[in-house]
């Protein structure tokens, strides 16, 4: 039997959710709820889809919903959805506060419902092209820069953009955070638009994150340094470059290029442009969400993982605000 799935909130992001879910043949797309009446009518006419007058009416017809409301409403909408028997997919950040996230996790466990969260970079093909088993970072540097969006500024840039890189870092560094230093600045909105955070982990890994939503050009890059290896990940252009250093000349590999560096200690650098299989990250997120419900096994980016990312983002933001 096909799952009945709907969308709550069809603004900029929610519209994409609606389009992806409508295009699937393996589910029954029920419709959507949007409290903005003009927006609701526009979506109904644009996509020839059912728009419900109340959240309850939609939820009573669904097995699961995608929630793309403003962050401040995530908790109350997700709570209501689970109370009425629905699994939930929630756009990041999972909730506005850490307490709300923890309450949702507890509720999901009690009601045997799944929560997955839209940390879309976790499914970016540039990241999934990397073998995570080989990653043991010593230093990570990330830049996530964007022009001012004019939307999504109900949360600071740390919770809007930096949280993507925080989630990726927590997936790569299997250690607890020991120290946080952070600085931020409000430029054109009432909250932080530019932020930098330096994280030091118990295992010695150091992470430097820079995020801005007032830049002239977009940039979404991460550089991962570890012993004898350096990886660059371009999330925007979906390019991965992988460099290895060797004391002795490595075996010839047609897929890689080897450079020799002469000096007091001769080194060999082997470079590979990693093949990235192009894919639709949002569609994959919904693949995992639907498979999770059907197999009763959490396969996507879980509410627990999203809560850890939110916790660290809030700590960073609190340090910025304290200054």
pLDDT tens per residue across span 49-73:
999 999 999 999 999 999 999 999 9
**pLDDT at 276 (0 to 100):** 95
Rounded Cα–Cα distance for residues 306 and 122 (Å)? 11
CATH number at residue 91: 3.40.50.720
Average pLDDT over residues 21-33: 97
141 & 253 share domain: yes
| Residue 214, in any domain of the structure | yes
143 & 202 share domain: yes
106 & 217 share domain: no
32 & 108 share domain: yes
**pLDDT at 152 (0 to 100):** 58
Average pLDDT over residues 138-149: 94
Q: CA distances (Å), 197 to each of 40, 94, 159, 226, 274, in order?
A: 39, 21, 13, 20, 29
| Residue 256, in any domain of the structure | yes
CATH number at residue 230: 3.30.360.10
Structure tokens at 315: 């700590």
Q: Which residue has the tokens 């009573």?
A: 60
**pLDDT at 241 (0 to 100):** 94
221 & 191 share domain: yes
Q: CA distances (Å), 222 to each of 60, 195, 207, 278, in order?
A: 43, 16, 10, 18
pLDDT tens per residue across span 234-293:
999 999 999 887 666 666 665 556 556 656 666 777 788 889 999 999 999 999 999 999
User: What's the domain count of the chain?
Assistant: 2
Q: Find how far residue 159's CA is from the centre of its chain.
A: 11
Structure tokens at 21: 């879910």
pLDDT tens per residue across span 164-216:
999 999 999 999 999 999 999 999 888 899 999 999 999 999 999 999 999 99
| Residue 307, in any domain of the structure | no
181 & 86 share domain: no
Return the closest-CA partner of residue 142 out of 116, 121, 128, 113. Answer: 121
**pLDDT at 247 (0 to 100):** 64
| Residue 257, in any domain of the structure | yes
Rounded Cα–Cα distance for residues 118 and 91 (Å)? 4
Q: Which residue has the tokens 């307490």?
A: 99
Final residue of a domain: which of 79, 113, 147? 113
Q: Quote the percentage of the chain above a pLDDT of 90.
A: 82
Sign of CA dihedral 151, 157, 163, 169: positive
| Residue 291, in any domain of the structure | no
Q: How many residues does the chain have?
A: 323
Average pLDDT over residues 95-102: 97
Domain of residue 249 covers: 122-278+313-322
**pLDDT at 105 (0 to 100):** 98
Mean pLDDT of the chain: 93
| Residue 202, in any domain of the structure | yes
């Amino acid at each position: 039997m096909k799952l009945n799935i709907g969308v709550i909130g069809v603004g900029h992001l929610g519209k994409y959710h609606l389009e992806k879910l409508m295009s699937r043949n393996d589910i029954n797309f029920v419709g959507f709820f949007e409290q903005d009446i003009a927006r609701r009518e526009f979506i109904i006419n644009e996509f020839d889809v059912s728009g419900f007058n109340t959240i309850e009416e939609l939820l009573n017809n669904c097995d699961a919903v995608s929630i793309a409301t403003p962050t401040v409403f995530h908790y109350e909408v997700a709570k209501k959805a689970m109370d009425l028997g629905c699994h939930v997919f929630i756009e990041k950040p999972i909730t506005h506060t850490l307490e709300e996230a923890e309450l949702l996790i507890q509720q999901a466990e009690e009601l045997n419902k799944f929560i997955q969260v839209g940390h879309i970079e976790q499914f970016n093909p540039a990241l999934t092209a990397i073998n995570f088993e080989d990653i043991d970072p010593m230093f990570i540097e990330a830049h996530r820069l964007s022009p001012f969006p004019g939307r999504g500024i109900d949360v600071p840039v740390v919770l809007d953009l930096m949280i993507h890189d925080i989630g990726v870092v927590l997936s790569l560094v299997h250690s607890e955070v020991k120290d946080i230093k952070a600085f931020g600045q409000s430029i054109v909105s009432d909250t932080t638009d530019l932020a930098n955070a330096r994280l030091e982990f118990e295992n010695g890994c150091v992470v430097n994150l820079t995020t801005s939503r007032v830049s002239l050009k977009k940039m979404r890059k991460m550089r991962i340094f570890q012993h004898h290896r350096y990886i660059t990940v371009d999330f925007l252009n979906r390019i991965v470059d992988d460099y290895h250093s060797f004391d002795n000349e490595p075996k010839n590999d047609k897929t890689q290029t080897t450079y020799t560096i002469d000096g007091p200690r001769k080194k060999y650098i082997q470079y590979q442009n990693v093949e990235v299989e192009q894919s639709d990250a949002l569609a994959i997120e919904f693949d995992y969400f639907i498979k999770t419900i059907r197999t009763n096994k959490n396969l996507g980016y879980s509410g627990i993982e999203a809560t850890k990312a939110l916790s660290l983002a809030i700590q960073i933001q609190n340090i910025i605000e304290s200054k």
